[in-house]
Chain A
Amino acid sequence: MIAELGLALLWMAAALACLSLVAATLFLRGGSKDLAALVRPASVAQGVLTTAAFGLLIALFVRSDMSVELVARNSNSLKPMIFKVAGTWGNHEGSMLLWLMILSLSGGLIAIFERRLREDTLVATLAAQAALSLGFFAFLLFSSNPFKRLPVAPPDGQGLNPLLQDIGLAFHPPTLYVGYVGLSVAFSFAVGALITREIGPAFARAMRPWVLGSWIFLTLGITAGSYWAYYELGWGGWWFWDPVENVSLIPWLAGAALLHSVAVTATRNALRAWTVMLAVIGFSMSMVGTFIVRSGLLTSVHSFAVDPERGTFLLALMAIYIGGALTLFALRAGSVAEGKKFALLSREGSLVINNLLLTTILALVLLGTLYPIVAEAMGEKISVGPPYYNKVAGPLALILCLVMVAGPLLSWRKDDGKRLWSRLPLAIFAGAAVLFALILFGGKVGILPLLGMTVAGIVAVASLAPLWGRNLRRTPLPTWGMVVAHFGVAVCLAGMGAESAFIKERLVAAAPGDVVKVGDFSVKFVGVKPIAGPNYTAIEGTLVATTSSGSSFTMRPEARTFPGLMGTAPTETNEAALLTRPGGQLYAVLGQPVTGDDGRADRYQIRLWWKPLVWWIWLGGGLIALGAALSLLGRAQLLTIWRARRARKAEERFA
């Protein structure tokens, strides 16, 4: 019954989306006000119903109802509960329902909370959101039904990919999806504002909290995903420039550009058309990413051709939405004035350069991601990976950081070079100190890490400059947010630079009792013992790491084997052991047994890395998200909205 109820809720939600769209269209074409009054409640109800459907899908996974195809293919009754729940979105259909739920919830939240926009703009915005969700409802119901029953229920399910059986999966995709799909709100605001021609500071101020909100989730999702890959894949890499990572980075870049340009529109009523354009680009990039990941294009152009139904459907949706929004933009762009002009050396000027660099990086990441796919379709197999992005995006990112040093110190409209220069000496001194220290004591350091750490030094000091000489308690929250986020960029950059420049690697075949030196540590391999987990068996190694000052720590890496379920092959994974120290992390992996010349397997492959400051990368990511959250608290004016509502209610009571 649960599966049928879930499907029925989805159909009802889709019908409500239809209702919102039709009512809003009629109202905007001059229909009565009653039609507009339908749109808000319909949007809220659609959000509630879709959320309930998603809840029912989780219930099916929790109860291990193997008569549902999705559960049978992706779950198993022996799996720990947390992974049964997380397994709901660890597959195509479930993740598309999660995507749709967030899309519908966003619509509902706009309907409840947004009071600052003109009524017709709001109705147009909700209509755009309903139109978006309608397409994805069609996709889900016609080609990816998560509630599909099997004619005969198998005794048990095939289980979840063991790599995905990790606490990271419980949080990483939902976080990222909230961010991805949250950008749909900015997209709908842009479409709504284009339809009613209400583009100006009010529109920018209404949009800003939503952009900040989804960008926070994108930042957290990417940071968490990077850490997950770092400890789960067993080789200590934290960013691979893999297409799946790239498609999460692209909307993040668009969001970063958008929240800076929206500041210009909100404060100075300038860059209006550009802000609208970026709002359209942001969610378009989310859709492109979903298309690339979900259509099977990534494995190969040919796997797309084998099962083209889903890919074609998504491609059509994307063409309609992106094409439609861009057409609307082209029709209205002529009547949207760009707004006030300004000097190059001004806050706006620095933000324009920020946007120029961010969108160029966005374009090149997209180019690098799509290029191999297009080349393969044309008969040329090439790979685009870290060396390309380091060479092309690396320098641009460093220049962007230098612009970030100057931007916050400039005043709006027009500034003077001498004044800027007088505020920089301490930051430049910090950068020079880092650079000299690295050249004198750092040994052989690559050019990109060297410049990265130098720029990190400059940014770290300069990012705090907007607070100098201010009363810290009276400094507005958004200013604090900017300072914390920019400082986070410096922390992140320093971590990346230090990790790539000073990493120490030791790969050995060790017998129990052997001692391996890595970085500052002597690591003794004590031995191995077999252990059993809830749904796997493992060999657990015991390592004792001793620092030069004499303190020692025990590390227990595991090599796990997940049995093949229902006829699938067994899978082996490595659980790395991490030892976090103030100066970095020691990363240990237990590999395969090694057979010696005498035929006895008494040695094990051990991989050890000392990664200086590596955790700064994720600390920096966290700080960036925290900064955005502070800014959101300052901008959302939740208190103001709440007070206004209370006042209005009180007024109604006395009326």
Chain B
Amino acid sequence: MSLRLILLCLFGALALPLAAQDRLPPAPYAYQQLKDPAQEARAKALMEELRCLVCQGQSIADSDAPLAGDMRHEVRSKIAAGESPAEIKTWLVARYGNWVSYDPPFDTATAFLWLGPLFFLALGGWLAFGRFRRGEGDAEDAP
């Protein structure tokens, strides 16, 4: 618990003064992979789902922005420390809101986002099936 608190403060300190941080050297894990390929794969998969908060439409896995580098460092360090991707994501969402995740959760605000496609498919299917000729009746010009 206390470790998490320290990390939270540390990360907060890193993330807030954006302008000052621009010229600092990037954190070690911003541009360095984890030694263990399995851990790196987990970190990579998570980084691809996280939004670079200062870029336009890029994940932190493919951005040169300093903030993205810091977030990559954060994700890799936490994975190396044995945290699961789900825990890290929960922590980041608590800090930045759902805005940080490209994989929106299913809740009342996003219900239509997730169910919409099913609804479209059902509606389209219902319309389309009107087009098909049933049985062998040779209906030609239908109204």
Are A382 and B109 neighbours in the complex by a CB distance under 8 Å? yes
B143 → chain A closest CB, angstroms: 6
| Minimal Cβ-Cβ distance residue in A for B53 | A383
Are B143 and A337 neighbours in the complex by a CB distance under 8 Å? yes
**What are 14 of the A-B contact pairs (CB < 8 Å)?**
A242-B57, A338-B142, A339-B141, A341-B131, A349-B132, A355-B128, A360-B117, A360-B124, A375-B110, A381-B97, A382-B99, A387-B49, A506-B33, A574-B64
Q: Which of A29-37, A74-82, A229-237 contacts B (4 or more CB under 8 A)?
A: A229-237
A141 beta carbon closer than 8 Å to chain B: no
Are B113 and A234 neighbours in the complex by a CB distance under 8 Å? no
Cβ contacts under 8 Å, B120 to chain A: 359-360, 363-364
Contact partner, B128, options A352, A371, A505, Cβ 8 Å: A352
Cβ contacts under 8 Å, B143 to chain A: 337-338
What sequence of 0s and 1s flags, for each residue 37-81 of chain B, a beta carbon within 8 Å of any chain A beta carbon?
000000010001101000011110111100000000000000000
A384 → chain B closest CB, angstroms: 6
B20 beta carbon closer than 8 Å to chain A: no
Give Cα A355–Cα B31 distance, bound, in whole angstroms.
45
| Minimal Cβ-Cβ distance residue in B for A361 | B117
Are A338 and B131 neighbours in the complex by a CB distance under 8 Å? yes
| Minimal Cβ-Cβ distance residue in A for B96 | A381
Cβ contacts under 8 Å, A337 to chain B: 141-143
Give Cα A242–Cα B116 distance, bound, in whole angstroms.
20
B103 → chain A closest CB, angstroms: 4
Are B31 and A591 neighbours in the complex by a CB distance under 8 Å? yes
Give Cα A243–Cα B102 distance, bound, in whole angstroms.
13
Are A352 and B102 neighbours in the complex by a CB distance under 8 Å? no
Are A383 and B63 neighbours in the complex by a CB distance under 8 Å? no
| Minimal Cβ-Cβ distance residue in B for A240 | B57
B62 → chain A closest CB, angstroms: 3
A380 beta carbon closer than 8 Å to chain B: yes
What sequence of 0s and 1s flags, for each residue 78-122 of chain B, a beta carbon within 8 Å of any chain A beta carbon?
000000000000000000011111111000011011101100110
| Minimal Cβ-Cβ distance residue in B for A368 | B113
A343 beta carbon closer than 8 Å to chain B: yes
Cβ contacts under 8 Å, A237 to chain B: 62
Q: Which of A244, A355, A381, A396 has the largest number of chain B CB atoms within 10 A?
A: A381
Contact partner, B116, options A235, A367, A396, Cβ 8 Å: A367
B123 → chain A closest CB, angstroms: 9
A605 beta carbon closer than 8 Å to chain B: yes
Cβ contacts under 8 Å, A349 to chain B: 132
Give Cα A89–Cα B139 distance, bound, in whole angstroms.
53
Contact partner, A383, options B104, B140, B142, Cβ 8 Å: B104
Are B57 and A367 neighbours in the complex by a CB distance under 8 Å? no
Give Cα A592–Cα B24 distance, bound, in whole angstroms.
12
Are B31 and A607 neighbours in the complex by a CB distance under 8 Å? yes
B26 beta carbon closer than 8 Å to chain A: yes
A388 beta carbon closer than 8 Å to chain B: yes
Give Cα A640–Cα B56 distance, bound, in whole angstroms.
50
Are B57 and A243 neighbours in the complex by a CB distance under 8 Å? yes
B104 → chain A closest CB, angstroms: 5
Give the 3 A-B residue pairs with the shortest CB-CB distance, closest first.
A385-B102, A235-B62, A242-B57
Cβ contacts under 8 Å, B114 to chain A: 392
Binding site for A on B (CB under 8 A): 25-26, 31-33, 44, 48-49, 51, 56-59, 61-64, 97-104, 109-110, 112-114, 116-117, 120-121, 124-125, 128, 131-133, 139-143
Give Cα A351–Cα B107 distance, bound, in whole angstroms.
35
Are A364 and B99 neighbours in the complex by a CB distance under 8 Å? no
What sequence of 0s and 1s flags, for each residue 91-110 of chain A, a beta carbon within 8 Å of any chain B beta carbon?
00000000000000000000
Contact partner, B133, options A236, A342, A381, Cβ 8 Å: A342
What sequence of 0s and 1s flags, for each residue 315-353 of chain A, a beta carbon within 8 Å of any chain B beta carbon?
000000000000000000000011111111000010011
Given contacts A384-B104, A387-B103, A388-B102, contact A509 B32 (CB under 8 A): yes
B100 → chain A closest CB, angstroms: 7
Are B64 and A342 neighbours in the complex by a CB distance under 8 Å? no
Are A509 and B31 neighbours in the complex by a CB distance under 8 Å? yes
A386 beta carbon closer than 8 Å to chain B: yes
A268 → chain B closest CB, angstroms: 11
A356 beta carbon closer than 8 Å to chain B: yes
A507 beta carbon closer than 8 Å to chain B: yes
Are B128 and A364 neighbours in the complex by a CB distance under 8 Å? no
Binding site for B on A (CB under 8 A): 233-237, 240, 242-244, 270-271, 298-299, 337-344, 349, 352-353, 355-356, 359-360, 363-364, 367-368, 371, 375, 380-388, 392, 396, 414, 505-509, 572, 574, 591-592, 594-595, 605, 607
Are B121 and A360 neighbours in the complex by a CB distance under 8 Å? yes
Give Cα A119–Cα B125 distance, bound, in whole angstroms.
37
Cβ contacts under 8 Å, B62 to chain A: 233, 235-237, 240
Given contacts A382-B109, A385-B103, contact A343 B33 (CB under 8 A): no
Are B63 and A235 neighbours in the complex by a CB distance under 8 Å? yes
A569 → chain B closest CB, angstroms: 11
B74 → chain A closest CB, angstroms: 16
Contact partner, B132, options A244, A344, A360, A594, Cβ 8 Å: A344
Give Cα A298–Cα B110 distance, bound, in whole angstroms.
19
| Minimal Cβ-Cβ distance residue in A for B129 | A344
Cβ contacts under 8 Å, A240 to chain B: 57-59, 62
A333 → chain B closest CB, angstroms: 12
Are B64 and A340 neighbours in the complex by a CB distance under 8 Å? no
Are A384 and B124 neighbours in the complex by a CB distance under 8 Å? no
Cβ contacts under 8 Å, A270 to chain B: 131
Cβ contacts under 8 Å, B100 to chain A: 383
Are B101 and A383 neighbours in the complex by a CB distance under 8 Å? yes
Cβ contacts under 8 Å, B102 to chain A: 383-388
Cβ contacts under 8 Å, B131 to chain A: 270-271, 338, 341-342, 352
Cβ contacts under 8 Å, A381 to chain B: 97-99
Are A342 and B132 neighbours in the complex by a CB distance under 8 Å? yes
Contact partner, A595, options B25, B31, B61, B63, Cβ 8 Å: B25
Are A386 and B59 neighbours in the complex by a CB distance under 8 Å? yes
B57 → chain A closest CB, angstroms: 3
**New A-B contacts (10) at CB < 8 Å, excluding given A371-B110, A607-B31:** A242-B58, A298-B56, A337-B141, A343-B133, A381-B97, A381-B98, A382-B104, A387-B103, A388-B102, A574-B64
Cβ contacts under 8 Å, A388 to chain B: 102-104, 113
Q: Which of A341, A368, A414, A506 has the largest number of chain B CB atoms within 10 A?
A: A341
Are A341 and B139 neighbours in the complex by a CB distance under 8 Å? yes
Give Cα A508–Cα B49 distance, bound, in whole angstroms.
23
Cβ contacts under 8 Å, B44 to chain A: 505
Are B31 and A507 neighbours in the complex by a CB distance under 8 Å? yes
Cβ contacts under 8 Å, A508 to chain B: 32
Are A242 and B56 neighbours in the complex by a CB distance under 8 Å? yes
Are A367 and B117 neighbours in the complex by a CB distance under 8 Å? yes
Cβ contacts under 8 Å, A591 to chain B: 31, 64
